[in-house]
Amino acid sequence: MDPVTQSGDSLEMIFDAEIQGDVQKILQPSTENNAKFQELKQFLLEWINKELKQEHIVVKSLEEDLFDGLILHHLLQKIGQIKLDVEEITLTASNQRRKLGVILAAVSECLELEESQLKWNMSLIHNKDLLATLHLLVALANHFQPDLPLPSNVSVEVIVVEPTRNGMKTGKAIEVITSSRDEDATPKKDAFDQLFDLNPDKIKDVIQVMVHFVNKQLVNLSLTVTDLDTQFADGVILLLLIGQLEGYFLNLGTFYLTPKAPEERLHNVTLALDLLTDGGVLHNPVDPTEIVNGDLKTTLRVLYSLFLKHKNS
């Protein structure tokens, strides 16, 4: 049997293609066995849920939950700080399509993409086309969070359906969803890299600002910080600082108040970074061992993320 006719969904998409005069790309059933493809789906699912956790939004299926624009609307607001004048809830198909049109137009403007460059459109997203939805999400992640460690080298085999004057023309092709990530490439430098490399004389000024900020928050706990790279290495003060700023009640049973072993310090710092990531304070991964080892630059990065959010507190 020709793979194009293996499912009702595929037949429906071919029929749509014939009416619209568009080339359609249909995922092969074998995609379910593509480990890297499934890894990408799971990664994007967890990414969306992490970003929208504070809004109590839970996405269970990329195929079923993104078609009406609600999730995309909230995601674009969260990662891009873009406010759109659209309805929150849309129940009819026409309103959903109208909302999607506004959202996707904003995406195209942000990404500076022309229509010919898009691998998705309103109809595909609304029709729950998984391939188009993945292309859209990957593009959003790459633009707004370029350091997000998306699974690399993800590609799938697709059936390409193209209407011609003589009928429907079908063929197979490889669709690339994420490109290769050069593991040996020099990581993109941030403001702290530039500070340490180009303006080392300014480091003391930054340290003083951070020390003042931290001590202001810890005054009620009768704690004083003077040495950022050593006093944060066991994670205790960092956890207490997060508790003060983010409003967490930290049960003493969840961390080591007087850590002695390296693994206890690592546990504390890892817990602190997880809280900051879940709370949307940290957007890029941080290696907890660097803080445990007293790396000043990494410690400053983490404290600065808290400072940006709570400097006016």
Do 132 and 200 have their domain in common? Answer: no
Chain CA centroid to CA 192, Å: 22
d(CA 149, CA 12): 35
Do 260 and 234 have their domain in common? Answer: yes
Residue 189 has what pLDDT?
58
Residue 8 has what pLDDT?
40
How many structural domains is the chain composed of? 2
Residue 181 has what pLDDT?
58
What range does the domain containing 280 cover?
A: 191-310
Do 171 and 220 have their domain in common? Answer: no
Q: What are the two backbone dihedrals, phi and then psi, of residue 300, each rounded to the nearest 5 degrees? A: -65, -40
Q: How confident is the model at residue 29 (pLDDT cuts 50, 70, 90)?
A: confident
Long-range contacts of 203-211 (CB under 8 A, 24+ apart): 206/300, 206/304, 207/296, 207/300, 209/307, 210/300, 210/303, 210/304, 210/307
Note the helical H segments in the chain: 8-20, 35-51, 62-65, 70-80, 93-111, 122-126, 130-144, 191-198, 203-218, 228-231, 236-246, 262-278, 288-292, 296-310
In a domain, 127, yes or no: yes
pLDDT, greater one: 234 or 54: 234
Q: Quote the tokens at residue 184.
A: 């040996």
